[in-house]
Amino acid sequence: MNIVFLDRKTLGDDISIDQFNKLGDVTTYNSTKANETLTRVKDCTIVITNKVVIDKNIMNNSDIKLICVAATGMNNIDLEYAKEKGIVVKNVAGYSTASVAQLTFSFALEFVQKINFYDNYVKSGGWENSNIFTNLDKPFYELEDKVWGIIGLGNIGKSVAKIADAFGCKVQYYSTSGSNNNTTYSKQSLEELLKSSDIISIHAPLNNDTLNLINKNNIKSLKDGSILLNLGRGGIVNEEDISDAINDGVDLYYGTDVVTKEPIEKFSPLLTIKNKERVLFTPHIAWASKEARIRLLNGIEENIQNFVL
Protein backbone atom coordinates (compact mmCIF):
# COMPACT_ATOMS: atom_id res chain seq x y z
CA MET A 1 0.00 0.00 0.00
CA ASN A 2 1.08 3.56 -0.69
CA ILE A 3 0.50 5.78 2.33
CA VAL A 4 0.76 9.56 2.03
CA PHE A 5 0.95 12.11 4.85
CA LEU A 6 -0.19 15.45 3.41
CA ASP A 7 0.58 17.77 6.34
CA ARG A 8 3.13 15.93 8.45
CA LYS A 9 4.36 19.13 10.11
CA THR A 10 1.03 19.59 11.90
CA LEU A 11 1.84 16.48 13.94
CA GLY A 12 5.13 17.90 15.25
CA ASP A 13 8.76 17.05 14.56
CA ASP A 14 9.24 15.68 18.08
CA ILE A 15 7.34 12.46 17.44
CA SER A 16 8.14 9.67 15.00
CA ILE A 17 5.88 8.17 12.36
CA ASP A 18 8.16 5.17 11.78
CA GLN A 19 5.38 2.89 13.00
CA PHE A 20 3.67 3.33 9.63
CA ASN A 21 6.59 1.91 7.67
CA LYS A 22 5.44 -1.62 8.52
CA LEU A 23 2.06 -0.90 6.94
CA GLY A 24 3.22 0.19 3.49
CA ASP A 25 5.35 2.58 1.48
CA VAL A 26 5.17 5.93 3.26
CA THR A 27 5.58 9.33 1.61
CA THR A 28 5.46 12.47 3.71
CA TYR A 29 4.90 16.12 2.90
CA ASN A 30 5.29 18.76 5.60
CA SER A 31 2.42 20.77 4.10
CA THR A 32 0.30 20.63 0.97
CA LYS A 33 -1.34 23.44 -0.96
CA ALA A 34 -4.70 22.91 -2.62
CA ASN A 35 -3.17 22.83 -6.10
CA GLU A 36 -0.67 20.17 -5.01
CA THR A 37 -3.09 17.70 -3.41
CA LEU A 38 -4.18 15.72 -6.46
CA THR A 39 -0.66 15.12 -7.73
CA ARG A 40 0.43 13.88 -4.33
CA VAL A 41 -2.45 11.48 -3.68
CA LYS A 42 -3.18 10.32 -7.23
CA ASP A 43 -1.55 6.92 -6.86
CA CYS A 44 -1.88 6.38 -3.12
CA THR A 45 -4.12 3.87 -1.37
CA ILE A 46 -4.27 5.62 1.98
CA VAL A 47 -4.09 9.35 2.62
CA ILE A 48 -3.51 10.87 6.05
CA THR A 49 -4.61 14.47 6.40
CA ASN A 50 -5.09 16.86 9.25
CA LYS A 51 -6.43 19.97 7.52
CA VAL A 52 -5.81 19.39 3.79
CA VAL A 53 -9.13 19.22 1.95
CA ILE A 54 -10.09 16.01 0.14
CA ASP A 55 -13.03 16.82 -2.11
CA LYS A 56 -14.99 15.21 -4.92
CA ASN A 57 -12.42 16.10 -7.57
CA ILE A 58 -9.59 14.52 -5.59
CA MET A 59 -11.57 11.34 -5.01
CA ASN A 60 -12.63 11.06 -8.64
CA ASN A 61 -9.10 11.32 -9.96
CA SER A 62 -7.16 9.15 -7.52
CA ASP A 63 -6.94 5.58 -6.25
CA ILE A 64 -7.67 6.48 -2.62
CA LYS A 65 -9.36 3.71 -0.67
CA LEU A 66 -8.97 5.04 2.87
CA ILE A 67 -8.81 8.59 4.21
CA CYS A 68 -7.44 8.89 7.74
CA VAL A 69 -8.15 12.25 9.35
CA ALA A 70 -5.50 13.17 11.89
CA ALA A 71 -8.13 14.86 14.04
CA THR A 72 -11.64 14.36 15.36
CA GLY A 73 -13.39 16.86 13.09
CA MET A 74 -13.84 15.81 9.47
CA ASN A 75 -15.15 19.00 7.87
CA ASN A 76 -12.25 18.97 5.37
CA ILE A 77 -13.58 15.79 3.78
CA ASP A 78 -16.56 15.50 1.42
CA LEU A 79 -18.10 12.72 3.51
CA GLU A 80 -21.20 12.22 1.37
CA TYR A 81 -19.22 11.74 -1.80
CA ALA A 82 -16.72 9.47 -0.08
CA LYS A 83 -19.60 7.24 0.97
CA GLU A 84 -20.96 7.27 -2.55
CA LYS A 85 -17.55 6.26 -3.91
CA GLY A 86 -17.04 3.56 -1.29
CA ILE A 87 -14.04 5.36 0.18
CA VAL A 88 -13.64 4.71 3.90
CA VAL A 89 -13.08 7.78 6.09
CA LYS A 90 -11.79 7.38 9.65
CA ASN A 91 -11.06 9.95 12.32
CA VAL A 92 -9.70 9.53 15.86
CA ALA A 93 -11.98 10.51 18.71
CA GLY A 94 -11.11 11.24 22.32
CA TYR A 95 -7.35 11.49 21.96
CA SER A 96 -7.13 15.16 23.01
CA THR A 97 -9.61 15.39 25.88
CA ALA A 98 -7.00 15.71 28.64
CA SER A 99 -4.90 18.12 26.59
CA VAL A 100 -7.78 20.51 25.86
CA ALA A 101 -8.99 20.43 29.46
CA GLN A 102 -5.48 21.23 30.68
CA LEU A 103 -5.11 24.29 28.43
CA THR A 104 -8.56 25.46 29.50
CA PHE A 105 -7.34 25.64 33.09
CA SER A 106 -4.02 27.16 32.05
CA PHE A 107 -5.98 30.08 30.61
CA ALA A 108 -8.28 30.33 33.62
CA LEU A 109 -5.47 30.18 36.17
CA GLU A 110 -3.42 32.83 34.42
CA PHE A 111 -6.39 35.20 34.44
CA VAL A 112 -7.27 34.64 38.10
CA GLN A 113 -3.79 34.11 39.58
CA LYS A 114 -1.83 36.76 37.59
CA ILE A 115 1.25 34.52 37.48
CA ASN A 116 2.83 36.33 34.54
CA PHE A 117 2.65 39.67 36.35
CA TYR A 118 4.32 38.35 39.49
CA ASP A 119 6.90 36.36 37.55
CA ASN A 120 7.89 39.53 35.68
CA TYR A 121 7.96 41.45 38.99
CA VAL A 122 10.56 39.08 40.41
CA LYS A 123 12.63 38.74 37.22
CA SER A 124 12.76 42.50 36.71
CA GLY A 125 14.25 43.04 40.18
CA GLY A 126 11.13 44.34 41.87
CA TRP A 127 11.15 41.83 44.73
CA GLU A 128 14.83 42.10 45.57
CA ASN A 129 14.44 45.87 45.87
CA SER A 130 11.29 45.69 47.99
CA ASN A 131 11.21 46.64 51.68
CA ILE A 132 8.47 44.08 52.45
CA PHE A 133 8.35 40.30 52.03
CA THR A 134 5.45 40.21 49.56
CA ASN A 135 3.72 42.16 46.80
CA LEU A 136 -0.01 42.60 46.26
CA ASP A 137 -0.06 45.16 43.46
CA LYS A 138 -2.22 42.93 41.28
CA PRO A 139 -5.21 41.37 43.08
CA PHE A 140 -5.74 37.68 42.35
CA TYR A 141 -8.62 35.39 43.14
CA GLU A 142 -9.67 31.84 43.98
CA LEU A 143 -11.56 29.44 41.77
CA GLU A 144 -13.38 28.00 44.76
CA ASP A 145 -17.07 28.97 44.81
CA LYS A 146 -16.88 30.59 41.36
CA VAL A 147 -19.61 29.66 38.90
CA TRP A 148 -18.11 27.86 35.90
CA GLY A 149 -20.33 27.73 32.82
CA ILE A 150 -19.62 25.23 30.07
CA ILE A 151 -20.90 25.62 26.52
CA GLY A 152 -20.90 22.14 25.03
CA LEU A 153 -20.92 19.32 27.59
CA GLY A 154 -19.38 16.57 25.46
CA ASN A 155 -16.37 14.51 26.49
CA ILE A 156 -14.11 17.55 26.78
CA GLY A 157 -16.78 19.62 28.51
CA LYS A 158 -17.33 16.84 31.03
CA SER A 159 -13.60 16.61 31.71
CA VAL A 160 -13.46 20.36 32.33
CA ALA A 161 -16.52 20.10 34.57
CA LYS A 162 -14.87 17.38 36.65
CA ILE A 163 -11.73 19.47 37.18
CA ALA A 164 -13.74 22.62 37.92
CA ASP A 165 -15.71 20.65 40.46
CA ALA A 166 -12.45 19.53 42.10
CA PHE A 167 -11.44 23.21 42.42
CA GLY A 168 -14.69 23.85 44.25
CA CYS A 169 -16.48 25.61 41.39
CA LYS A 170 -20.22 25.48 40.89
CA VAL A 171 -20.62 24.00 37.42
CA GLN A 172 -23.47 24.65 35.01
CA TYR A 173 -23.80 24.11 31.26
CA TYR A 174 -25.59 25.07 28.08
CA SER A 175 -26.34 22.43 25.46
CA THR A 176 -25.79 23.88 21.98
CA SER A 177 -27.85 21.10 20.41
CA GLY A 178 -30.50 21.16 23.12
CA SER A 179 -30.34 17.37 23.37
CA ASN A 180 -27.92 17.02 26.28
CA ASN A 181 -29.78 16.46 29.51
CA ASN A 182 -26.92 15.68 31.89
CA THR A 183 -28.26 15.55 35.42
CA THR A 184 -24.92 15.87 37.23
CA TYR A 185 -24.72 19.60 36.48
CA SER A 186 -27.29 22.35 36.20
CA LYS A 187 -28.57 22.94 32.67
CA GLN A 188 -29.17 26.58 31.74
CA SER A 189 -30.32 28.66 28.82
CA LEU A 190 -27.51 30.52 27.08
CA GLU A 191 -28.70 33.85 28.45
CA GLU A 192 -28.84 32.57 32.01
CA LEU A 193 -25.45 30.91 31.76
CA LEU A 194 -23.80 34.07 30.42
CA LYS A 195 -25.20 36.36 33.08
CA SER A 196 -24.57 34.05 36.03
CA SER A 197 -21.15 32.53 35.29
CA ASP A 198 -17.81 33.88 36.49
CA ILE A 199 -15.92 31.72 34.00
CA ILE A 200 -17.30 30.39 30.73
CA SER A 201 -15.47 27.84 28.59
CA ILE A 202 -16.56 26.82 25.11
CA HIS A 203 -16.10 23.20 24.00
CA ALA A 204 -18.59 22.97 21.15
CA PRO A 205 -18.24 22.26 17.42
CA LEU A 206 -18.84 24.95 14.82
CA ASN A 207 -22.19 24.46 13.08
CA ASN A 208 -25.34 26.38 12.26
CA ASP A 209 -26.33 26.37 15.93
CA THR A 210 -23.02 27.76 17.20
CA LEU A 211 -21.85 30.19 14.49
CA ASN A 212 -21.56 33.63 16.13
CA LEU A 213 -23.15 32.18 19.26
CA ILE A 214 -21.34 34.79 21.36
CA ASN A 215 -21.91 38.23 19.85
CA LYS A 216 -22.55 41.88 20.68
CA ASN A 217 -26.15 41.15 21.63
CA ASN A 218 -25.26 38.77 24.47
CA ILE A 219 -21.73 39.87 25.42
CA LYS A 220 -23.42 42.68 27.34
CA SER A 221 -25.07 40.01 29.52
CA LEU A 222 -21.73 38.82 30.91
CA LYS A 223 -20.93 39.50 34.56
CA ASP A 224 -18.37 42.18 35.34
CA GLY A 225 -14.92 40.63 35.51
CA SER A 226 -16.01 37.42 33.83
CA ILE A 227 -13.63 35.20 31.89
CA LEU A 228 -14.60 33.80 28.48
CA LEU A 229 -12.49 30.94 27.09
CA ASN A 230 -12.86 29.58 23.56
CA LEU A 231 -11.47 26.08 23.17
CA GLY A 232 -14.01 25.13 20.51
CA ARG A 233 -13.84 26.89 17.14
CA GLY A 234 -13.09 30.50 16.24
CA GLY A 235 -16.41 31.22 14.56
CA ILE A 236 -18.35 30.53 17.74
CA VAL A 237 -17.27 33.89 19.16
CA ASN A 238 -17.72 36.92 16.91
CA GLU A 239 -14.18 38.28 16.94
CA GLU A 240 -15.07 41.84 16.01
CA ASP A 241 -17.74 41.99 18.70
CA ILE A 242 -15.55 40.62 21.49
CA SER A 243 -12.69 42.94 20.49
CA ASP A 244 -14.96 45.98 20.38
CA ALA A 245 -16.41 45.12 23.78
CA ILE A 246 -13.00 44.92 25.46
CA ASN A 247 -11.76 48.06 23.70
CA ASP A 248 -14.92 49.86 24.80
CA GLY A 249 -14.15 49.10 28.42
CA VAL A 250 -16.35 46.09 29.11
CA ASP A 251 -14.96 44.35 32.21
CA LEU A 252 -14.17 41.08 30.48
CA TYR A 253 -11.24 38.71 29.88
CA TYR A 254 -10.96 36.57 26.76
CA GLY A 255 -8.70 33.59 26.15
CA THR A 256 -8.76 31.72 22.88
CA ASP A 257 -6.89 28.88 21.22
CA VAL A 258 -8.83 29.23 17.97
CA VAL A 259 -9.72 31.97 15.50
CA THR A 260 -12.03 32.16 12.52
CA LYS A 261 -9.22 31.96 9.97
CA GLU A 262 -6.04 30.13 10.89
CA PRO A 263 -3.25 31.13 11.02
CA ILE A 264 -4.55 34.37 12.51
CA GLU A 265 -4.68 37.18 9.96
CA LYS A 266 -2.49 40.26 10.36
CA PHE A 267 -5.55 42.50 10.52
CA SER A 268 -7.63 40.29 12.82
CA PRO A 269 -9.75 42.46 15.14
CA LEU A 270 -8.43 40.39 18.04
CA LEU A 271 -4.97 41.85 17.49
CA THR A 272 -6.38 45.36 17.91
CA ILE A 273 -7.30 44.81 21.56
CA LYS A 274 -5.47 47.57 23.40
CA ASN A 275 -5.39 46.13 26.92
CA LYS A 276 -3.22 43.06 26.36
CA GLU A 277 -3.81 41.89 29.94
CA ARG A 278 -7.43 41.26 28.97
CA VAL A 279 -6.64 38.70 26.28
CA LEU A 280 -4.61 35.47 25.98
CA PHE A 281 -3.84 33.62 22.76
CA THR A 282 -2.42 30.23 21.87
CA PRO A 283 -2.04 29.08 18.23
CA HIS A 284 -4.53 26.17 18.11
CA ILE A 285 -2.48 23.92 20.38
CA ALA A 286 -5.12 22.68 22.83
CA TRP A 287 -5.33 19.32 21.06
CA ALA A 288 -1.59 18.84 20.79
CA SER A 289 0.14 17.75 23.99
CA LYS A 290 2.85 15.22 23.14
CA GLU A 291 0.81 12.48 24.78
CA ALA A 292 -2.26 13.44 22.75
CA ARG A 293 -0.35 13.40 19.47
CA ILE A 294 1.06 9.97 20.25
CA ARG A 295 -2.46 8.73 21.00
CA LEU A 296 -3.59 10.27 17.71
CA LEU A 297 -0.92 8.47 15.68
CA ASN A 298 -1.70 5.19 17.44
CA GLY A 299 -5.37 5.71 16.57
CA ILE A 300 -4.52 6.32 12.92
CA GLU A 301 -2.36 3.19 12.87
CA GLU A 302 -5.22 1.19 14.35
CA ASN A 303 -7.64 2.56 11.75
CA ILE A 304 -5.29 1.47 8.96
CA GLN A 305 -4.79 -1.99 10.47
CA ASN A 306 -8.56 -2.48 10.82
CA PHE A 307 -9.03 -1.40 7.20
CA VAL A 308 -6.41 -3.84 5.94
CA LEU A 309 -7.81 -6.70 7.98
Element (H, E) at 81: helix 79-85
Query: What distance, in Å, lies between the first and last C-alpha atoms of the chain?
Result: 13
| 295 annotated active-site | no
The catalytic position among 36, 142, 262, 265 is 262
Contact (CB, 8 A) for 168 and 145? yes
Active site residue 278: no
Q: Catalytic residue among 8, 40, 203, 233, which?
A: 233
Q: Measured between alpha carbons, how far is 52 from 181 in angstroms, rounded to an integer?
A: 35
Cα–Cα dist 111/140, whole Å: 8
| Measured distance CA(296)–CA(291) in Å, rounded | 9
Q: Is 240 a catalytic residue?
A: no
Residue 136: other Cβ atoms inside 10 A: 8
Residue among 40, 278, 284, 295 flagged as catalytic: 284
DSSP code per residue over 103-163:
HHHHHHHHHHH-HHHHHHHHHTTTTTT-SSS---SS-----TT-EEEEE--SHHHHHHHHH
The residues carrying an active-site annotation are 233, 262, 284
